[in-house]
Structure formats: structure tokens, C-alpha cells
């Protein structure tokens, strides 16, 4: 049902269809030219591709592919409007600077109007489709614990996944009829077959917390043989949220389930790509280094670069490099402390460097040295690792892959400065380690670019 947290099969299909629709719109305006010069098809396809990618790029930046929004919500309407206007502006600039890359002058304005209208109708229709009361996969949750409640809330929040929680079952008679996160407890576990039949349930999701010796195995097997899907709540929670809940997580789930199989070939491929891309990025950013260094020195006394010990793969400690964004004596009186989103220790230039992520650029040298990868769990300081490892289960698994300049936790959760935040980010890191692949890395990089361009976070 789901390819990734941000990329369900439905969403992927919608984006591909949209791309084909935009290319068709542009090519339609070139039918006369194609009839006269059919050998120019490749050139016209290139023109259409430029137009389609430009519009889709700005739709991505303005959250146009969050299909969970309602078609009348202001944030969707404003986001779509901004994306269309920005795309039109960029294409107009391209048309003026390099006319040969776009459609002919006489058809250019009409093409922008046509594509804008098609996109508006398309995205309104998509949200009507995802929000319609069409047939959804009905889910019955066995259990009413924290994981069951969190899962129900996430499903209710994301109607575009095509799921519907029809209710809960529990072993406590006092809970029957009680509303749990909107859906009610429909009955007891021993009534499972009747409840599934009466409510036309497609899938039973079992929260295994405190169910040792009380799981109705015979009933579940009987339902499964009749076509009702049965799965554990942790697995569905992972698919819906893009993170792995570590609350009551059983090691057997990680040992015997899918994932957590980081092959040597995948890791080697990741490092080759990371090295190549880092080399390219450094070549692009190196001309800015003297200017950044000058601004840092003029703004506050101290070194240009900031060096700090971090924990890498297999617990190996390495020296991480960044442009200095804090005062030179930031931790003189306090020792190592969590950084804050609005930290008074950050300098004026440092605040700008953090917003644009330019302070992170020197970490590309760490990638070239082999200490880091472009994508992976963010490396922590040794003293924080020691502290968190004592209180958070499975924290050591973060170090099974190389740390990254950016990561799945960063694009999903953002800034964190407490143990609670570390727990939340670990759940995303575990999802990344379980599902590590080139496709997931690409998705992280695309969302990182979006985050930098829209200056989200600090």
C-alpha cells in the first residue's frame, strides 16, 4: 500500500500522471509544428519537459503534493497560487534569456494559462478524490494502549492513505462502547469473529502490548484464511508515520521481520554517490568560503571553523567541521549543553548561516574523508550519546550506518534539544536504517533542498 512515508503508490501515480498531463498540454500546442517537422519531436519533448519540471518543482516547494489537505483550505489555495506564479515567472525569464528552450512566442502566454488552469483543476480534483467517501480499507484495532491510539490518530489525520478505523476491541468489558480517539470499542476480543463480520472489516491490526498468552490465535488464523488481513500494529504504524515506535518494541520484530538488512553493496554505493556529490558541492561552494570567513571574523572574535567530536559508525569518534555560528566561549561556563532553536549564543552572522544551512557545508570534507555520508542519522556528541544510550532503548542502532549531513529524522521532525526529542528522532532514524536504499536517500535529499530553499527551520 505504501512505498514510503512521503510517497504512497497513489501519490507517486498522481505525480507521474500529472507530469504526463503537463507534457501533453505543451505538445498539443506544437501539433502544427510536429506535422511540418516530425523529426523535431525530441526537441519539442525537451521543451515540454522543462515546462513540466518547472511547475512540479515549485509545487513541491509549496507543499502542493500534500494531498491530505481539503480543496477549500486557504493553505492549499495560496500554496497552489504561489507555485503557479513562481513557475510562470521563472519560465518567462527562461523564455526571454533562451527562447529556444521554450514554446514559440505566439503560443507562450496561452501555454502558461492552459497549464495553470489544468493544474488548478487537476489538484482540486485530486483532493476531492482523496477526501471523498469512497470505499476505504476498514481496520479493526485489537487493543487500546498508547500505540493503538497513536495509530488511530495518524490514520484519521491522513485520509489520503485510503484507511478507515472502524473501531477497537479490548479485553476489558468496562471499555465496550467507550470512544477511543473517535472510533469506539466495539466489543471484547472473544467476540472478534462477530465484530469483523458485522462491520465488514478488511484488516485486523493487533497491538501486542501486554497480550502474551491472551492472543486469540485460532480466531485470527480463521479470519486470515477467509481473506481478512492480519498484521501487528508496529508494522502499520511504521508504514503510516515513517517511523518505528520504540515503546514496547520487541527485538524479535526487528530480528525476524523485513528490513534492517544493510548490505555491503548498498553501503558502498551510498559512499560512492556521497563522495561524488560532495566533491561537486564543494566545487560550487568554495568560492563563497572567503566571503563567509570574512563575515564570521568581522562579526565576532574566534576561529572561522568550528570543530567538535561526534560519534560515527560503530561508535568511532571523529572530528566534525562546521562554520562557527556561536560565540567562541559558548560553553565555557556550562559545559556541553543542548543547542536551542532560538539560542542566545548564536552570532548575527551565525543566525543567517544556520537559516541557509551554509554552516553545514564544511561537513562535506567529513564526507570526503569517509567519516560521514550525505544521508544518515545526524551524529551526536560523545557525552550525549553516553547519556541517551542509558535511557533510550536501541539507541546504539543509530551507529550501524554512517552519520549524515542530512537525514530522515531532520526532514520529518526538525530541531530537537531534549531527551524527548532524541527519542522521537531515534524512531525516524530506525525507520531509515530499516529501509535504507538509494530511493530513500534521494527522497531525503529532495526534501532537504526544499527545506533550504523555503528556509524552513533554523
DSSP per-residue codes, 314-330: GG-EEEEEEE--B-TTT
Return d(Cα 22, Cα 51) in angstroms, integer.
8
What does the pLDDT look like over 61-97, one tens digit per residue? 888 887 767 778 888 889 899 999 999 999 888 888 8
Q: Are residues 113 and 197 in the same domain?
A: no
Q: Are residues 120 and 142 in the same domain?
A: no
Return d(Cα 209, Cα 83) in angstroms, integer.
45
In a 13 Å sphere around the CA of 123, the CA atoms on its Cβ side amount to: 30
Q: Are residues 195 and 283 in the same domain?
A: no
Return d(Cα 201, Cα 185) in angstroms, integer.
14
* Separation of CA 184 from chain center: 31
Q: 339 and 417 in contact (C-beta within 8 Å)?
A: yes
Q: Are residues 429 and 282 in the same domain?
A: yes
Q: Work out the percent of the chain whose per-residue pLDDT is above 90.
A: 34
Q: Are residues 271 and 210 in the same domain?
A: no
Q: What is the pTM of this model?
A: 0.80
Give the C-alpha distances (Å, rounded to integers) separating 35 from 38, 41, 53: 6, 10, 25
Domain that holds residue 406: 264-453
DSSP state of 184: B
Q: 239 and 8 in contact (C-beta within 8 Å)?
A: no
Q: Are residues 208 and 312 in the same domain?
A: no
Q: Final residue of a domain: which of 186, 209, 241?
A: 241
Return d(Cα 169, Cα 143) in angstroms, integer.
6
Q: Are residues 234 and 329 in the same domain?
A: no
- Residue 252, domain member (yes or no): no
Q: Final residue of a domain: which of 131, 149, 169?
A: 131
* Widest CA span in the chain: 78
Domain count, the chain: 3
- Residue 26, domain member (yes or no): yes
Q: Are residues 114 and 178 in the same domain?
A: no
Q: Work out the percent of the chain whose per-residue pLDDT is above 70.
A: 88
* Separation of CA 73 from chain center: 22
- What is the pLDDT, as a whole number, of residue 8? 66
What does the pLDDT look like over 16-39, one tens digit per residue? 999 999 999 888 887 776 666 666
Q: Final residue of a domain: which of 207, 241, 275?
A: 241
Smallest CA-to-CA distance from 185 within 164, 168, 165 is with 168
Amino acid at each position: 500500500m505504501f512505498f514510503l512515508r512521503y510517497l504512497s503508490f497513489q501519490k507517486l501515480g498522481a505525480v507521474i500522471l500529472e507530469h504526463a498531463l503537463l507534457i501533453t498540454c505543451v505538445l498539443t500546442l506544437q501539433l502544427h509544428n510536429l506535422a511540418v517537422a516530425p523529426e523535431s519531436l525530441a526537441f519539442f519533448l525537451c521543451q515540454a519537459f522543462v515546462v513540466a519540471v518547472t511547475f512540479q518543482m515549485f509545487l513541491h516547494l509549496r507543499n502542493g503534493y500534500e494531498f491530505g489537505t481539503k480543496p477549500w483550505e486557504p493553505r492549499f489555495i495560496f500554496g497552489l497560487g504561489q507555485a503557479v506564479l513562481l513557475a510562470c515567472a521563472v519560465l518567462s525569464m527562461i523564455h526571454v534569456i533562451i527562447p529556444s528552450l521554450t514554446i514559440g512566442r505566439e503560443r507562450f502566454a496561452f501555454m502558461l494559462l492552459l497549464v495553470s488552469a489544468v493544474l488548478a483543476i487537476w489538484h482540486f480534483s485530486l483532493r476531492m478524490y482523496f477526501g471523498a467517501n469512497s470505499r476505504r480499507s476498514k481496520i479493526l484495532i485489537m487493543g487500546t494502549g498508547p500505540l493503538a491510539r497513536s495509530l488511530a490518530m495518524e490514520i484519521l489525520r491522513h485520509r489520503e492513505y485510503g484507511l478507515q478505523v472502524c473501531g477497537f476491541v479490548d479485553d476489558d468489558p468496562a471499555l465496550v462502547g467507550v470512544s477511543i480517539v473517535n472510533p469506539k470499542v466495539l466489543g471484547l476480543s472473544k467476540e472478534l469473529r462477530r465484530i469483523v463480520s458485522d462491520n465488514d472489516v478488511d484488516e485486523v491490526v493487533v497491538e501486542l502490548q501486554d497480550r502474551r498468552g491472551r492472543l486469540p490465535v485460532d480466531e485470527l488464523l480463521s479470519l486470515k484464511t477467509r481473506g481478512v488481513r492480519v498484521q501487528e500494529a508496529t508494522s502499520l504504524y511504521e508504514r503510516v508515520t515513517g517511523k518505528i515506535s520504540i515503546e514496547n518494541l520487541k527485538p524479535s520484530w526487528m530480528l525476524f521481520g523485513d528490513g534492517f538488512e544493510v548490505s555491503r553493496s548498498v553501503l558502498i554505493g551510498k559512499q560512492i554517490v556521497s563522495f561524488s556529490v560532495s566533491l561537486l558541492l564543494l566545487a560550487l561552494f568554495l568560492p563563497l568560503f572567503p566571503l563567509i570567513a570574512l563575515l564570521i571574523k568581522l562579526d565576532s572574535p574566534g576561529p572561522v571553523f568550528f570543530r567538535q567530536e561526534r560519534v560515527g559508525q560503530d561508535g568511532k569518534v571523529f572530528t566534525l567541521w562546521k562554520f562557527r555560528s556561536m560565540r567562541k566561549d559558548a560553553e565555557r561556563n556550562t559545559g556541553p549543553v543542548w543547542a536551542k532553536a532560538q539560542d542566545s549564543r548564536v552570532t548575527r552572522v551565525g543566525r543567517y548561516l544556520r537559516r541557509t544551512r551554509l554552516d553545514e557545508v564544511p561537513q562535506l570534507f567529513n564526507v570526503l574523508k569517509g567519516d560521514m555520508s550525505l544521508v544518515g542519522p545526524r551524529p551526536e556528541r560523545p557525552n550525549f550519546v553516553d547519556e541517551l544510550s542509558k535511557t533510550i532503548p536501541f539507541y546504539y542502532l543509530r551507529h550501524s550506518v554512517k552519520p549524515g549531513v542530512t537525514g530522515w529524522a531532520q526532514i520529518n521532525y526538525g530541531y530537537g534539544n531534549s531527551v524527548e526529542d532524541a527519542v522521537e528522532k531515534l524512531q525516524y532514524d530506525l525507520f531509515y536504517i530499516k529501509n535504507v536504499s538509494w530511493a530513500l536517500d534521494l527522497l531525503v535529499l529532495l526534501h532537504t533542498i526544499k527545506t533550504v530553499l523555503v528556509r524552513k527551520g533554523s
